[in-house]
């Protein structure tokens, strides 16, 4: 802060405005406007499929899609309101930010979300293919051979998924169903094992190479190899602790 300068609250409020609008819209969309926004729902149906090895997946409906009340739709509403406000009273399109037109923002948004979207579609497709082809069940049966030691390994599976994919969400997509089926096969608590999975994924994301490279790129002179080595050491130690806690929790049930 410059000595003698007056504190101006308006820039702070302007920066906080988008978060406030999005929060309000999400709250309204989940409470007061929930019924109104939930009138258009898509329920996709899928036929039965079978592999030549005998694994069968019965026909059924997929997850319902709430077109206007979906979380992504609520974020879109908030983005449009904030954009309109910034165009009217904010910096967009003014002399201070002449390049931030609607087309520019839309173009940068498309460029930014293309790679993550393709990656997520690919991971979900792989996870569903493994589930419907019986591969997830086969892996679960193999992991069930570890017996009561499986809870100790559960966080490491989640951590491995995050380490490879760079995301806890992606790890849950790939290994969540596997962990659930293994827990059922071993008569373990499904919520407990899934908690270990997502906890391990959160820890594994801390030392995922993709995350480390992004972090190191913001610090001058930092060596990604040294950072990755240190982060992995601490991460594995934390995974051991989480695994031990999960194992003890299964013994106490």
pLDDT at 3: 62
Q: Please, is 190 exposed, middle or buried when counting C-beta atoms within 10 Å of its C-beta (0-12, 13-18, 19+)?
A: middle
Contacts of 61 (CB under 8 A, 6+ apart): 43, 44, 45, 46
Angle at the Cα of 148 (from 147 to 154), degrees rounded to 5?
95
Which has more confidence, 128 or 4?
128
pLDDT tens digits, 85-102: 887 776 655 545 555 667
User: How far is residue 228's CA from residue 198's CA, in Å, rounded to a whole number?
Assistant: 21
pLDDT at 222: 67
User: How far is residue 107's CA from residue 57's CA, in Å, rounded to a whole number?
Assistant: 41
Question: Is pLDDT of 229 > 80?
Answer: yes
Mean pLDDT of all residues belonging to the chain: 83
Which of 84-93, 110-119, 221-230 bottoms out in mean pLDDT, i.e. has the lowest? 84-93
């Amino acid at each position: 802060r410059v000595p003698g300068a007056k504190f101006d609250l308006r820039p702070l409020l302007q920066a906080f405005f988008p978060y406030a609008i999005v929060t309000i819209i999400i709250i309204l969309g989940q409470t007061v406007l929930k019924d109104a926004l939930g009138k258009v729902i898509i329920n996709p149906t899928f036929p039965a499929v079978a592999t030549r090895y005998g694994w069968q997946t019965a026909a059924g409906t997929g997850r319902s899609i709430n077109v206007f009340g979906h979380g992504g739709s609520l974020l879109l509403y908030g983005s449009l309101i904030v954009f309109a406000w910034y165009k009217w009273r904010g910096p967009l399109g003014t002399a201070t930010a002449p390049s931030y037109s609607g087309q520019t923002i839309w173009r940068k948004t498309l460029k930014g979300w293309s790679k993550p979207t393709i990656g997520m579609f690919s991971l979900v497709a792989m996870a569903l293919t493994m589930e419907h082809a019986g591969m997830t069940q086969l892996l679960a049966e193999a992991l069930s051979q570890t017996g009561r030691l499986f809870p100790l390994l559960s966080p490491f599976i989640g951590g491995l998924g995050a380490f490879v994919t760079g995301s806890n969400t992606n790890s849950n997509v790939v290994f969540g169903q596997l962990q659930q089926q293994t827990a059922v096969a071993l008569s373990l608590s499904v919520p407990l094992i899934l908690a270990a999975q997502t906890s391990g994924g959160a820890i594994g994301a801390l030392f995922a190479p993709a995350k480390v490279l992004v972090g190191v790129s913001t610090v001058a002179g930092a060596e990604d190899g040294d950072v990755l080595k240190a982060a992995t050491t601490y991460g594995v130690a934390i995974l051991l602790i989480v695994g031990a806690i999960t194992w003890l929790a299964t013994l106490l049930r």
